[in-house]
Amino acid sequence: MSAAPLLRVDGLDVGFGGTPVVQDVSLYIGRGECLALVGESGSGKSVTARALLGLAGRGSRVAVRTLDFDGTNLSGAGQRAWRRLRGSRIGLVLQDALVSLDPLRTVGREIDDALRLHTALSPAERAAKVAGLLESMGLAAADAGRRAGELSGGMRQRALIAAAMALDPDLLIADEPTTALDAEAQAQVLDLLAGLRAGGSSLLLISHDLAVVSAVADRVAIMRGGRILEQGPTDQVLTSPEHEYTRMLLRAVPAGRPRGTRLSAPTGRSDARPHAPDAKLLDSSPSIGGPVLEARNLVRAFPVPGGGILHAADDVSLRVEAGRTLGLVGASGSGKSTTARILLGLDVPASGTVKLFGEPWVPLPEASRRPRRTRLGAIYQDPLSSFDPRRRVGAILADALAAATTGGAPEGAHDPAGLLQLVGLEPALAGRHPSTLSGGQRQRVAIARALAPGPRVLICDEPVSALDVSVQAQILDLLDDLQARLGLGYLFISHDLAVVRHVSDRLAVMRDGRIVESGPTEQVFAEPRHEYTRALLAASPTLATDTSD
Amino acid sequence: MADTALLGSSGGGFPRPGGTAVVPRAGRWRGAGFWLVRRIGSAVFVLWAVATLIFLAIRLIPGDPAEAIMGGPGSQASAAALEAARAEYGLDEPLWVQYLSQLGRLATGDLGTSYALKVPVVQLLADQLPGTLGLAVGAWVLAWILALGLALWSGLGGRGAAVVGSALEIAAASVPHFWLGSVLVLLFSTAWGWLPPVSNGSAAGLVMPVVTLALPLAGFLGQVMRESMLTAMNSPFALSAHARGESESGVVLRHALRHAALPGVALSGWALGSLVSGAVVVESIFARPGLGRSLLQAVTLRDVPLVTGVALVSALAYVVVMAVSELAERAIDPRTRDR
């Protein structure tokens, strides 16, 4: 490692149409070093990274006092100079390879791009190099002829990294490289990035995931509102943060936080605080711990394009109890969502039954199910797509209340305003359109809508996967409060082990359509019996910090 | 439906089933065979439906086909002559016998004899088809060139070009053929005398009909192509390509252009419909022999066999174009192969 850093940025400002997005950002990255840029959506971390490639975007105004890459001053560099650097000396890996690789081109051609643009190799030599790159990333040479959509999430992310690493750039900028991946694929990609650094490349890692950052980065810079709040060695920033915002971020991480502890700071709104269980509501429902939703031996399979069968549910049995949370964890494609659809009566299993409050639920004609539908609610990862964009929040909630035939809304929440207060939102939000709300507000509205008919069971399918860690903390706390107050039974589906561990009383681990292990959450984590559970636990990065304050 | 929901929840990916070859070669061929059988089956169905609809439509509207045979409405043919015509063309038989015998003839490729021209319909179609085909293909090619040019220009030219390009496309798409054709004749023939007002088979005579037919189509195609071009240019894969050192024009040529072409290809069937209906107008304006003008005359004269023939040829063309565009779509976008 030489004394001069590979990249030095001083006083970077980026604005779009007069609005500053990045302000006075200064950072440096040494040779072979990994700097992590941590922040939530809208903090300006991605724009910062793109500005380092001269790709801040259309309509951007970039100003910088110093932008020095390996002794070359890049402030005011022309497009030609930038193009010589991109792909050959600085590589970029984006979040979701499904859209970051051209869906109409083969991954081989995408990887070949950098070779074609920056070297004088013949097509045959380039093809050999592409095959070698794919193999070094743990893919098959034959995968060069396939397109991103034909590869699994982890495979295509590695192909995307292969495209960025084709010419061994000195600096790799990785923008949320593991966010779209499940724990196993994430571990593979993190291993790969560690290997690249061992080979001497520098890494700028952009992430909101502090556990990932702590596993990979040498130094951390915390960003918020376009500014860097603090930066320093990873251990120092994560164990003794100087800034209140950093402390809040660390507190919001669910990893290692036992069930029932609060992740978010009090919001000061009384409605979101824990209540004593509502006696009147609990009277009419099974007591805490009683079975409310029971699935037995569910089987469901789908034909796979090109032949073969995908066993999405293979003898799945599970039980959701009143006032308790059953966590369902597994990799992408393990059948979690298919199971949820069967439980909701949206898909018909080939065999097996579901009982709701001890009465038959699946299989059953929809007409005999409809009166009892109000007892079962669902929330999903992306609430925005489930709202009619032309309707206001108040109208959306009024519709949901009108649809309630039996049971009825929770106490004090018989109108949209009451529902909004129940989920910790201002009643004034009723006049807004969903698209104008923040991600956290949208998920709260989705929860309010799910609660309107007065359900006793909520199926939560990846409800916090698209949220920033601090917002995730607030939603997890809200779900906890609602459960305590209304005695709800939750089926909580997630690929994130830390989240599932924090919210669940019992845990079921799913793989290839089978439940390989289930039991009390802490027991499963402490003494995993199935080898897949052990692999899953090992693959999940943890953040071991003392956040008691 | 159900499996897309499953895949959707996991970001579209699921573990690869076993070995490296996704689709075995034999399976792919069997798939192609099924596809062909399905296509031919649906083509036969479409032709049958068109023949039936035409038969019913012509019999249900008031008027006597025998009159059409004897020289069209208003002919002073005697009752005896009309009776003889009815007997000769089988019009005195019950409707269902007429229907079945017509289907039988159509199935053997016999389209009958034109009432008005007393010439076999097959021969008439063979005479008229090349002219219309030339016109339609010429207009289609020109429309694609204009649409791609507009899409490229507005994709690369920034905000101003996008606004101007969009305005041009809307203007072109909303101009009716008859108005555009008349204006072109007024300017290029009457006022300046550069081009012949009548399309008589010369190359110069083909220019105005082709342009008249192509411009509105180019407007529509340009709109959808520009839209998907801009979407592609703003997508993460375009950013990734830039980050590999690709130039702006490289991103357009290697990535965005293909995405732009997709909706244009998907609209081919619709484009053919617009070309056929446009040909009726354009061939009449420029006094150009062709299927469109024949159709217009045949409808006016109640020439049932000729109307049926033109409609069947159009339907067949539609079926062929749809099959070809589906093949083209599969070649461009592998994601459509598993549908």
Is the backbone of residue A454 left (phi > 0), alpha (psi -120 to 50) or beta?
A: left
A339/A202 same-domain check? no
Phi, psi (5° rounding) for residue B230? -65, -40
**Within a domain: A24:** yes
Q: Looking at A217, A252, A287, which one is the last position of a domain?
A: A252
Q: pLDDT tens track of chain B, all 339 residues?
A: 333 333 333 333 333 333 333 344 445 556 677 878 888 888 889 889 988 888 888 777 766 677 777 766 666 777 787 788 777 777 777 888 888 888 888 888 888 888 777 888 888 888 888 888 889 999 999 999 999 988 888 777 777 887 888 888 888 888 888 888 888 888 888 888 788 877 776 777 788 889 999 999 999 999 889 888 888 988 899 999 999 999 888 898 889 988 988 888 888 888 888 888 888 888 888 888 888 888 888 888 778 788 888 888 888 888 888 888 888 888 887 776 654
The answer to whether residue B160 neighbours chain A at the CB level (below 8 Å) is: no
Sheet strands side by side (includes A72-73): A19-29, A7-16, A60-69, A72-73
Q: What stretch of H or E contains A68?
A: strand A60-69
A241 in a structural domain: yes
Chain B residues with CB under 8 Å of A91 CB are 243-244
Long-range contacts from A262-267, C-beta under 8 angstroms, 24+ separation: A262/A477, A262/A480, A263/A472, A263/A473, A263/A474, A263/A476, A263/A477, A263/A502, A264/A470, A264/A473, A264/A474, A264/A477, A267/A424, A267/A474
H-helix segments, A296-432: 336-343, 366-369, 393-403, 416-422
Cα nearest neighbour of A96 on chain B = B236
Q: With respect to residue A528, please indicate whether it lies within any of the assigned structural domains.
A: no
Rounded CA-CA distance B282/B210 in Å is 9
Q: Which residues contact A138 (CB under 8 A, 6 or more apart)?
A: A158, A188, A192
Tell me if A126 is assigned to some domain: yes
Say what the pLDDT of residue A96 is. Answer: 79
Q: Is residue A448 assigned to a domain?
A: yes
Best mutation site among B10, B22, B25, B338 for testing chain A: the one with the most A CBs within 10 Å? B10
Which residues on chain B are in Cβ contact (under 8 Å) with A462? 9
Helix intervals (H) in A361-415: 366-369, 393-403
- Interface membership of B4 toward A (CB under 8 Å): no
Domain hosting A307: range is 279-514
Q: Which residues of A touch B24 (CB under 8 A)?
A: 306-307
CB atoms A149 and B255 under 8 Å: no
CATH code of the domain covering residue A215: 3.40.50.300
pTM of the predicted protein model = 0.76
Let me know whether A92 and A240 are in one domain: yes
Q: Is A129 exposed, middle or buried (0-12, 13-18, 19+ CB in 10 A)?
A: middle
Token representation of residue B151: 């899409």
Q: Which CATH architecture has domain B121-338?
A: Orthogonal Bundle (1.10)
**Count of structural domains within chain A:** 2
* Interface contact flag, B243 A55, Cβ < 8 Å: yes
For residue A150, being part of any structural domain is answered with yes
Percent pLDDT > 90 in chain A is 40
Is there a single domain that holds both residue A142 and residue A102? yes
Within a domain: A270: no
Q: Do A82 and A146 share a structural domain? A: yes
Tell if the CB–CB gap between A140 and B20 is shorter than 8 Å.
yes
Instruction: Answer whether B192's CB lies under 8 Å from B118's CB.
Output: no
Residue A362 identity: V
B316: CB partners within 8 A, 6+ apart: B43, B47
Q: Are residues A288 and A225 in the same domain?
A: no
